[in-house]
Structure 1
Amino acid sequence: MPYGLVMGASGDIGQAICYAMAADGWSLYCHYHHNQEKVLSLVSDLRQRYPQQDFFVVSLNMLEESAISDFVNQLFQVDGVIFASGFTVYNLLPEVTSQQMDSLWQIHMKTPLLLLQQLQAKLAQSGRGRVIFISSVYGQHGSSMETVYSAVKGAQEAFVRAYSKEVVTLGITVNAIAPGAVNTQMNQNWSTSEKESLAADIPLGRMAEPLEVAAACNYLCSKEASYTTGTTLVVAGGWMN
């Protein structure tokens, strides 16, 4: 039975990924930092649905490097890791603080890389390890008012291309998924007119649902995706093509 670590399981996309992977036979470590109740509820539901699989709640503040080793030591088997944690800062570049820049870099890039340094041996044990970053179309096309976020998302995709070459002989595939606009809590403060204007710019005429991003993740985690590595799978409804 494969075991996966989903970083950011408390988010809408992370939660959808957990449900999709569990349905495909994965046991899971469901990570959170702030939203403990949401992840406890998620894990309780997964245990009821799939009693033959294992589901654990794990916590890590991704801004605390000193906690990473202890976090990794509690994971006894890891066949796949999905980095779905993240946040953005909406502001013009001169208004973005140094602390915000550091946090964006730490959560989207540095901590995932530090985790992978310690998880690589575990990921290699099965010969079919999976590493997936939930990136963004902004990593490829950029977004004004989100310049630093766009930069770290682009860095994730560059890392995927490089790291995939390092670990290919270990049977580990490394890929990214670049969603476009997704119907999550992050955009619940948008007005109806703002959502309608955005939908009008998307060829498919709507935002993605978290389960559609999770389906792409499920494919990249599957045995059938063993020949897919170093790529970014865009899930954006034709937006920004």
Structure 2
Amino acid sequence: MKTALVTGATGAIGSKICQMLANRGYFIYIHYNTNADAAIKLQEELETRYKAKSAIISADLSLPEGPENLSKQITGSIDVLIYNCGAQHYGLLTDFSDRSINETMQLHLLSAISVTRSVIPEMVRNKAGKVIMISSVWGEVGAACETVYSAAKGGLNAFVKALSKELAPSSIQVNSVSPGVIATPMLDQFSEIEKAELASDIPAGRFGEPDEVAHAVEFLISDKADYISGHILSINGSWFT
């Protein structure tokens, strides 16, 4: 049985990825930060619906010690790493505190690097593995009022491209999935009028669904994608091409 680690597993995208992995027969490490009830509920759903085995782990990946705290809760090797974190901070750069900047960079970039570093030695020994980073369209094109988040996700994409070159000789693929606007609770901060205006800017005329992100991840972790590495897979309805 293969083992997968999914960070941010209790979110809308993370939970769909966990369901996909459970359906494929993986043992899943379900990571959460603060929502223990959601993690327990997800674990029960995976066991009931898919007969999947899993373990719940907790760590605050916005802190420098977060990756080490996470790694201590994992035993054995990881075959698939899905680094998925969805927290965003909106505002002008001049309104950001040093603490907010540091936490954003830690969560979206530095912890991603550290968590990956902790799992790749076993992947290299096994000559197999899949590393998927959940990035963002803003990591590709940037966004006003999300400058720090954009910088972190842009760095994440560069990390994917660089690491893919290091790990390709060991038959390990490293890729990124880059969603545009996805219909998740993160959109609840916008009014219905604002959401309608945003959807009208997208050529596809709608927001993406969490399932559609999970489908992309499913392809990238499959044997059919063994020759794809260092790729940033955009899922944005042709919003930015």
TM-score over 0.5 for the alignment? yes
In the TM superposition, 1:53-68 aligns within 5 A as 53-66=52-65, 68=67
Contact 2:13 2:211 in 1 (8 A): yes
Deviant stretches of 4+, over 4 Å: none
Structure 1 unaligned regions, length at least 5: none
* Match in the other structure for 2:205: 205
Q: TM-score, normalised by structure 1?
A: 0.95
Contact 2:63 2:103 in 1 (8 A): no
Residue 49 to residue 77, structure 1, CA distance change in 2 (3 Å):
farther
What letter is aligned with 1:144?
A
* Match in the other structure for 1:190: 190
Q: Give the 3-state SS of the residue equivalent to 2:207 in structure 1.
A: coil
Structure 2 unaligned regions, length at least 5: none
Q: Give the 3-state SS of the residue equivalent to 2:214 in structure 1.
A: helix
* Match in the other structure for 2:88: 88
C-alpha displacement of 1:229: 0.3
CA shift digits 1:178-225 (9 cap, x unpaired): 100000010112111111101111111100010000100111111111
Contact 2:80 2:221 in 1 (8 A): yes
* Match in the other structure for 2:45: 45
Q: Which sits farther off after the overlay, 139-148 or 114-123?
A: 114-123
Q: Give the 3-state SS of the residue equivalent to 1:65 in structure 2.
A: coil
Q: TM-score, normalised by structure 2?
A: 0.95
C-alpha displacement of 1:122: 2.3
Looking at structure 1, the residues matched to 21 and 126 of structure 2 have their Cα atoms a distance apart, in angstroms, of 17
C-alpha displacement of 1:67: 5.1
In the TM superposition, 1:85-164 aligns within 5 A as 85-164=85-164
User: What is the root-mean-square deviation in Å for CA atoms of aligned residues?
Assistant: 1.3
Looking at structure 1, the residues matched to 82 and 166 of structure 2 have their Cα atoms a distance apart, in angstroms, of 18
* Match in the other structure for 2:175: 175
* Match in the other structure for 1:74: 73
What letter is aligned with 1:155?
G
Residue 90 to residue 57, structure 1, CA distance change in 2 (3 Å):
same
Contact 2:64 2:106 in 1 (8 A): no
CA shift digits 1:64-122 (9 cap, x unpaired): 43453353243223101111113111101111111111001101111111122221112
